[in-house]
Amino acid sequence: MSSIMQHENYYVMRNFKYQIIGGKIINMAPLASPNHGKISNRVNIVLSNYFDKIGEDYEVYHDNNYLRIDMIAKKNNIILPDECKNDKFRPDVMVIRDRSIDTVKGVIGAPVIVVEVLSKGTEDYDTQLKKQVYELIGVQEYWIVNPGLKSINIYVLKDGKYISYKTYCKYSESELEEIEDERQKTGKVFDEVILEFSPYSFPELKIKIDDIFKNLIKE
């Protein structure tokens, strides 16, 4: 038995929460900040409510299922970085439509959307290695949500490569007041004020940026 499998069995037997990223077991037991949980939960609620409302048979997982990178790569002959061949991720939120990839072992195909909320322990993975792997396996849309900056970076897959689609940020009250003062003084607004956005994959869904970042705890 390989070293990684031995370590994984240790976590499984104790019902610990973990991911395998870049061939390393990442213990998820130390809880991320409350803001991380608030944001990921709100994204989950917005997406789940939307699919329930329109009656589409999408499944939204909120940090409660594995994305089996190892099985996806093997099934589709995808060449991963060497250190990722045994990886299985646990995205903060993922949206799938193809029910054939939804199995008891985890999700074994590319989701439509994956959302990762940055935390100190996994930020480098989310912005670098995971982003590379999501691109390789064909995740159509990848969001990186930064609680500190209150920003959402959306990447979209085009011809097998991610392009930066849009970045959305929450305005502070003072920023909105400055923009309004400038408008009243000059009659012009030099910065476009964007208060809501739509996923690339679901342009009819309108999400208020404030709803994602409201009532965060000051850190």
Model pLDDT, residue 7: 53
For the residues of the chain, what is the DSSP string, one character each?
A: --HHHHHHHHHHHTT--EEEETTEEEE--SPPPHHHHHHHHHHHHHHHHHHHHHT---EEE-S-S-B-HHHHHHHHT----GGGTT-BB--SEEEE--GGGEETTEE-S--SEEEEE--TTTHHIIIIIHHHHHHHHT-SEEEEEETTTTEEEEEEEETTEEEEEEEEEPPPHHHHHHHHHHHHHHS--SS----EE--SS-TT--EEHHHHHTTPPP-
Report the candidate in 60, 211, 31, 44 with the shortest Cα–Cα distance to residue 119: 31
Query: What are the tens digits of pLDDT across the range 153-203?
Result: 999 999 999 999 999 999 988 888 887 787 777 776 656 788 999 999 999
In the prediction, which pLDDT does 174 show? 85
pTM metric for this prediction: 0.88
What pLDDT sits at residue 31? 57
What is the residue-averaged pLDDT of the chain? 88
pLDDT value at position 164? 97
